[in-house]
Amino acid sequence: MRLSHNDYLKIAFPFIVSTVTQPLLGAVDTAVVGQLGMAELIGGVAIGTVIMNTLYWLFGFFRVSTTGQSAIALGKNDVQEQASSLLRPFMLALIVGLFFILMQPLIWQGAMLIISPEESVAVHAKTYFGIMIYGAPFVLLNYVLIGWLMGQAKAKATLFTQVFGNVLNIVLDIVFVYYFDLGVAGVAYASLIAQVTTFAIGTYLVINTSKFSLREHISMVKMSRADLGVIMSSNMDLLLRTVCILVFFNMMARVGSSLGSDVLAANAIMMQVTFIVSYMFDGVANASSVFAGKAVGKKDATLLEDVIKLNTQWTTGFVVVLTLLTFVFKEQIVLLFTDIPALLEIYLDMSIWLIVFPLVAGYGLTFYGIFTGTGTTRPVRNSSFITLMVFLVVQFVAVGLWGNHGLWLAFTLFYIGRFVFLYPYIGQIKDRCLA
């Protein structure tokens, strides 16, 4: 099977559209409260978002591994494996989500111990966290549902599920904050309602697009200790990789917080821009993950070579376009979030780091999808650990010398490392496909 640009785009474009709406939620949350004119509100939402993202990213392998296993099962055309790739992670995600709710006091205390924000910021962060924590089961279950749909190459269903939920979130943000004057609580309630709605839609679409009867395969949910051990072992590399990324983002928040509430708020806005750019690349990674998984399932080395080639070509195109956009519209971008003079000054001074971000981050973010789609996760873990060590050393030295610029220098080197230390392992993917 040869993979054409048209075949690739049929899957990649819906994934790009659907995934890029995800960081728009955080951007809209930040922009809506930013228009209220208080840096403490932006900082509160930023800290609350970091806490929730820490929980979700820690178990983000539910989406990533489900996509890979679902794609491999699709390549094998094995109905039983397709059912198993959905039902087993679904049960685990439900258990973990409920556990988060039970442990919320300890989670909050631990987060405050690590981040140590100013009191005025912590008050708003606690309001946000106290509401958002109840969406944890739905978010993790949505990871499984969307991951499975992606692996089955159900691009339209994935697009509809994510876009509808995210657009609903954005609309409710505006209504609750501007019309009902609920402030940070309004932003959190909007997200919670959207998460529940997305779960309902995803469940409906999975039931109606699957080739198997859930009732016939529901016994898959009953896992032995051996089954659970295999699943957790296969995801451990992704879990450790996620831990590295969580340490990275939490250190960004902690060090930014130590530089003052204005710097924390300005960095929060910059981070939202990097999230939007990252998720555009993530759409390419998702498409590559699906085709790479099918290549492994079919043992088709030619298809795998085409995936690598098209992944590189489309990543390069996105790098050029996104770099130009962040350069040309750097002033207009920040005004979408806030018009507070102090934050504008900091943002514009730091904007060079956003301009170079697509170039330094793009290839690492998209090649990652090829590795996870084929289940070649050990290199992902190793490269993430090395890049984290580079980040920690550089930020420790550079922040003292150059302040916030030093922090963003370390940030940039982290993303460069995610490609430099990952790509040399590309041969392992080819070996896996041919094995």
Distance from the first to the final alpha carbon of the chain: 18
Confirm if 53 and 138 have CB atoms less than 8 A apart: no
Between vectors from CA 254 to CA 249 and to CA 268, what angle results, nearest 5°? Answer: 65
d(CA 152, CA 148): 6
Phi-psi region of 338 (alpha: psi -120 to 50; beta: other; left: phi over 0): beta
Q: Shortest CA distance to 140 belongs to which of 66, 245, 231?
A: 66
d(CA 315, CA 430): 20
Model pLDDT, residue 15: 73
Confirm if 62 and 150 have CB atoms less than 8 A apart: no
Series of mean pLDDT values for 10-residue runs along the chain (435 residues): 80 73 65 72 79 77 76 75 79 90 91 79 86 91 86 79 84 87 86 92 85 59 57 71 85 87 87 86 85 84 90 95 92 84 91 95 92 85 94 94 95 95 88 72
Model pLDDT, residue 222: 56
The DSSP 8-state label assigned to residue 435 in this structure reads -
Q: From residue 220, give the alpha-carbon distance in Å to each of 84, 92, 224, 232.
A: 6, 12, 10, 16
Residue with tokens 């904007």: 351
Q: From residue 70, give the alpha-carbon distance in Å to each of 87, 144, 434.
A: 11, 10, 19
Confirm if 67 and 289 have CB atoms less than 8 A apart: yes
| Measured torsion, CA atoms of residues 397, 48, 354, 8, in degrees rounded to the nearest 10 | 120
Q: Taking the model in full, what pTM does it have?
A: 0.73
Q: Shortest CA distance to 73 belongs to which of 189, 212, 203, 251?
A: 212
Residue 100 C-alpha from the chain's centroid? 19
Residue 69: both structure tokens together: 């296993």
Determine which helix (DSSP H) or strand (DSSP E) holds 203, and give its type and residue range: helix 183-209
d(CA 50, CA 250): 7
Model pLDDT, residue 225: 62
Determine which helix (DSSP H) or strand (DSSP E) holds 180, and give its type and residue range: none
**Which residues have CB under 8 Å from 286's CB, separation 6+?**
12, 15, 19, 67, 150, 369
Residue 209: both structure tokens together: 């697009």
Range of the domain at 196: 5-434
d(CA 45, CA 66): 30
Instruction: Tell me how many domains the chain contains.
Output: 1
